[in-house]
Amino acid sequence: MRTKSSVLATSILAALAYGGIPAASPSGESEAREVRFFVYYHNVNGYVVGYKGVQCLLLTAAGEVPCGKTGEDGELIVPSATLFQPKNLAALFCPSDGARTCTALRLNRPGSRDVRELDVRLEMPEVIDRSKAGASAR
């Protein structure tokens, strides 16, 4: 299992590298041939756990196109040619159990084609009573 600190370090490096690990080839081309996604959540003990069976959908103006599901380890590899088609606006990662919210990644931002690996965190929705939020601070 990955710890929060190891994922945080990876996330910081990814942010410094325009959102992910940049690809490089001997010929000087920077575009990655495939993108590896690690989809995860934090368990109750604070450990990072790969999320099995998360559906990846490519969002287009016409609707959603299934792109694959994460495996046992929470990873999904998508060919860049599939991911970065001009019609694709975003990649949406949704757990099949519906227990967590979906996470969306825009595909048309500068530098996105240069990424070969991204960590995608799925959040647990939290319902709060805003009328009681911060009551002790008032």
Q: What is the residue-averaged pLDDT of the chain? A: 78
Residue 62: the pLDDT is 94
Among 54-63, 68-77, 119-128, whose mean pLDDT is lowest?
119-128
Domain count, the chain: 1
More confident residue, 20 or 56: 56
> Residue 69 and residue 106: Cα distance in Å, rounded?
18
| Domain region containing 8 | 4-124
Tokens of 27: 């010929």
> Does residue 136 lie in a domain region?
no
> Does residue 129 lie in a domain region?
no
> Does residue 134 lie in a domain region?
no
pTM over 0.75: no
> Does residue 131 lie in a domain region?
no
More confident residue, 75 or 4: 75
pLDDT level of residue 22 (50, 70, 90 thresholds): very low
pLDDT level of residue 5 (50, 70, 90 thresholds): very low
How distant is the alpha carbon of residue 71 from its chain centre?
A: 14
Sign of the Cα pseudo-torsion (81, 82, 88, 91, in order): negative
What is the domain-level CATH number for residue 18? 2.60.40.1120
Q: Please, what's the b/e burial string for 60-82 (b: 16 or more CB within 10 A of its CB; e: otherwise)?
A: eeeeeeebeebeeebbbebebee
32 CB neighbour count, 10 Å cutoff: 23
SS3 state of residue 18: coil
User: Is the pLDDT confidence value at 92 over 80?
Assistant: yes
